[in-house]
Structure 1
Amino acid sequence: MKILNYKLFLCAFTFLSFSQKSISQNKISKALKSWNKGTIPYVYFDNIPVTDSITFLDTREKEEFKVSHLENAIWVGYKDFDKQLVLDTITDKTQPIIVYCSIGVRSEDIGEKLSELGYTSILNLYGGIFDWKNKGGTVFNDKEMATDSVHAFSKHWGKLLHEGIKVY
């Protein structure tokens, strides 16, 4: 009887764990459909080509970037978007660029600004750094060391982050 109860517990726990991640992904999808216009095409965690030719641009605030960012990402900001930094750093306007933020809303806005600057190969990371971490991606701190900490932006949006240590 104890073995049966244990197996039922494991099944229920496993179902709830997968359901929570599925619900979270569904909530990310709903938020993106609600907030985004679809002006910058998405790229998905599982479909990012393994190549050094892609430049990742972090479109979050500096304090978010310091806690966690994708490897070798360049911080360009959101409220204080630094277009001159982009123009000086990425001189080839055909350079493949992936923009990201927490879930993909702010990064679409910055992607639009990049497009206005003449950049032609811009993708928006679907689900942002939250989806990246939720799917097992590695993030780095301001010392460029792998970390489990992820800046969760706010308690409201942090509900969409299920892996790592939430930092506010």
Structure 2
Amino acid sequence: MKQLSIFLPIFLMPLLLLAQQTLDPKFEKKIEELIEHSVPVISCERLEQKVNTPNLYLLDAREKKEYETSHLKDAVWVGYDTFSPERLTMVPKDGIVVVYCSVGYRSEKIGEQLKKMGYSRVYNLYGGIFEWTNRTYPLVNLQNEVTTKVHAYNRDWGRWLNKGEKVY
């Protein structure tokens, strides 16, 4: 009985954490259909607690227009279709790297590339900037001013963005 009481919390903890990572269960289901978990995920709550961690680098894997509308403070734009390793010169291989996009698909693909390039501590922001915004965590514009505007990619994907001002 003692072994069972130790085993159950260890076994159930990852499931409980995963189940609590988005505010909308339908959005959660959509994310799980999109990502393969080939890159470890980090929840918005966990990242928000760690934003001032030394050696933490935030990479925005959306396209330039999306990044220019808003992004996480101190995030570096690396793009997706236009991704280039030259944009990573300031990111050490042993740095803690969190990649995000709108919902997590593009950032996972960029995260896979980073791992192949030798980055060892790469994480995908679960739910991306949409979930970050839905939880009312701050965003900034190009002038580093707080904004509520979020590029919602398109109207179909924008339905997952429940807070903030949608921009297309």
Q: Which residue of 2 aligns with 1:108?
A: 108
- For residues 32-87 of structure 1, the C-alpha deviation after alignment (integer angstroms, 9 at most, x for no partner) is 2212111011100111224243100000000000001000100000001011211x
In the TM superposition, 1:57-76 aligns within 5 A as 57-76=59-78
Aligned residues: 145
Say if 1:24 and 1:160, in contact at 8 Å, map to a contact too. no
> What is the distance in 2 between the residues matched to 1:133 and 1:53?
24
Residue 24 of structure 1: how far off its partner (Å): 6.5
In the TM superposition, 1:4-153 aligns within 5 A as 25-48=24-47, 49=50, 50-86=52-88, 88-90=89-91, 92-153=92-153
> What is the distance in 1 between the residues matched to 2:148 and 2:85?
30
| Bigger Rg, structure 1 or 2 | 1
Unpaired runs of 5+ in structure 1? 1-22
Residue 27 of structure 1: how far off its partner (Å): 2.5
> What is the distance in 2 between the residues matched to 1:139 and 1:42?
20
TM-score w.r.t. length of structure 2 = 0.82
SS of alignment partner, residue 89 of structure 1: coil
Structure 1 moving runs of 4+ over 4 Å:
none
Q: Which residue of 2 aligns with 1:13?
A: none
Residue 134 of structure 1: how far off its partner (Å): 0.6
Judging changes above 3 Å, is the alpha-carbon distance between structure 1 residues 153 and 59 closer, same or farther for their aligned structure 2 residues?
A: same
Residue 25 of structure 1: how far off its partner (Å): 2.1
TM-score w.r.t. length of structure 1 = 0.82
Unpaired runs of 5+ in structure 2? 1-21
> What is the distance in 2 between the residues matched to 1:104 and 1:25?
15
- For residues 99-120 of structure 1, the C-alpha deviation after alignment (integer angstroms, 9 at most, x for no partner) is 0000111000000000010000
Q: Which residue of 2 aligns with 1:6?
A: none
